[in-house]
Structure 1
Amino acid sequence: MLKKICIFLFVVLISVVAKAQSADSVYSRYLDFNLARFQGETEKLLGLGEAILPAADKLPEKTRINFYFAIGQVYENNDQPQKALGYYEKVAAAVPDYYVVHRGIGYIYLAQAKEIKDKLNASSDAGLTEKLKGDYETAARKALPHLEKAQACDPSDETLDEIKSLYQNLKDTEGLNTLNVRLKELSKHCIDLLEDK
């Protein structure tokens, strides 16, 4: 009986040590990823980041959120906005006042809306036109709250023009007329840097 207990405790101890080493290994890979980022080694970033993704849940929470934002930027810079979007949305859910991620999300949805609008303008098929109008509205409505948060925290003429254009295209005069009130309220809580510890 004592022998079985000793074996059981040994197995538990080995699994705890293995898990700790695994977490240390993931954090070490995260440090390598960050070093490559800061040294501008863009050709390495995607591979380093994707190697971390399967075990990202082993990173401490704030570090994981910071990593998700960074890998989102890597995907966005590599013309993979749909992959970036998923990680940006995780960051926005965890740190809703981090306006930088909202700008990224907003511009990804804005690009989708513009692409749909181009198809809409080129379409002569009535059925397709109606579908594209719905798709455009969906993309525009997804872009607006993110662009507004970014605009509230870091005003930009370009972003403001895009917001106004979306409301005009949607024929949403109420949204346009109440924009300044929303921007003022959103500007009360802005975070411009993520903590990783």
Structure 2
Amino acid sequence: MLKKLLFTISFVSAIYCCKAQTAEEVYNKYLDYNLARMQGETEKALDLGADLIPNIDKLKPGARNNFYYSIANLYENNDQSVKAIEYYQKVVAAVPDYYVAQRGLGYQYAKQAEALKASGGAAYIAAVRKALPHLEKAQACDPDDDTLKLIKLYYNNINDKTGLATLNERLKKLSKTCVDLLDDKN
């Protein structure tokens, strides 16, 4: 009898502990994550962010995109490029005109390209081609001399004269649809 009682108590406790989190609980964890991030507690924020990810679908889309951007940025600053790219990609897929995430993703791809530069060849060219559209969107929305130099360098390095010749035209077109802030209310 005692074994059955202990089993029942353990079973009920396990169900209670493992219950799905409510949207409000997830949002409160999101607020805790943001507080840790704003206070410069990177490791704590990364831990809280990792805990949030399994239930992130309970956040509103705007808050989710904001979370993805901020955790990508934390991973980038913590030299975790693979994870940074994963979350920048989520933001860019959801809000393609958000040039800040485009810049982050572009520079992460550029970092990969630089690692392949010495070997040259197809892998380097592919990495550069991944970086360019993101860098161009960022440049179109928020012009920066360093980004422009990098874009031009890449076109020269891969010997893409047409891409370089039509750059200004593309930048002008891309500059018409720029998002500079994510709204986490919707």
TM-score range, shorter chain: 0.7 to 0.9
Match of 1:156 among 130, 144, 160: 144
State, as a whole percentage, how many aligned pairs show the same letter: 59
Mapped partners of 1:38, 1:115: distance in 2: 32
Superposition RMSD in Å: 1.2
Q: CA deviation at 1:74?
A: 1.2
What letter corresponds to residue 61 of structure 2 in structure 1? E
Structure 1: 5+ residue stretches without partners:
1-17, 121-131
SS class of match (2:22)? helix
Match of 1:50 in 2: 50
**Deviation of residue 70 (structure 1)?**
0.9
In structure 1, what is the Cα distance between the partners aligned to 2:82 and 2:134?
16
Tell me which residue corresponds to 1:111.
111
* Structure 2, unaligned runs of 5 or more: 1-18
Distance 1:37 1:46 in 2: 8
**Number of the residue aligned with 2:125:** 137
Distance (Å, rounded) in 2 between the aligned partners of 1:44 and 1:154: 31
- 1:3-152 residue pairs with structure 2 within 5 A? 22-118=22-118, 120=119, 132-152=120-140
> Which residue of structure 1 aligns with residue 169 of structure 2?
181
Aligned to 1:196: 184
Report the count of equivalent residues. Answer: 167
Measured in 2, the distance between the counterparts of 1:143 and 1:149 equals 10
| Partner amino acid, structure 2, of 1:109 | Y
Distance 1:166 1:106 in 2: 12
Question: Deviation per CA, 1:105-143, whole angstroms, max 9, x where unpaired?
Answer: 10011111111013x1xxxxxxxxxxx511111100000
Select the structure that is richer in helix. 1
Deviations 1:68-115 (A, max 9, x none): 111111111111011111111110011111000000010011111111
Distance in 1 (CA, whole Å) between partners of 2:73 and 2:162 is 34
Following the alignment from structure 1 to structure 2, what is the Cα–Cα distance between the partners of residues 133 and 108? 19
Q: Normalized against structure 1, the TM-score is what?
A: 0.82
Equivalent position of 2:12 in the other structure: none
TM-score by length of 2: 0.87
**Segments of 4+ in structure 1 off by > 3 A?**
none
State the distance in 1 between where 2:168 and 2:175 align. Answer: 10
Q: Secondary structure at the match of 2:117?
A: helix
CA distance in 2, matches of 1:83, 1:35: 21
Partner Cα distance (1:196, 1:75) in 2: 20
Whole-angstrom distance in 1 between the partners of 2:107 and 2:43 = 24
- For residues 47-69 of structure 1, the C-alpha deviation after alignment (integer angstroms, 9 at most, x for no partner) is 11111011111111111111111
Provide the C-alpha distance between the structure 2 equivalents of 1:78 and 1:41, rounded to a whole number of angstroms.
Answer: 12
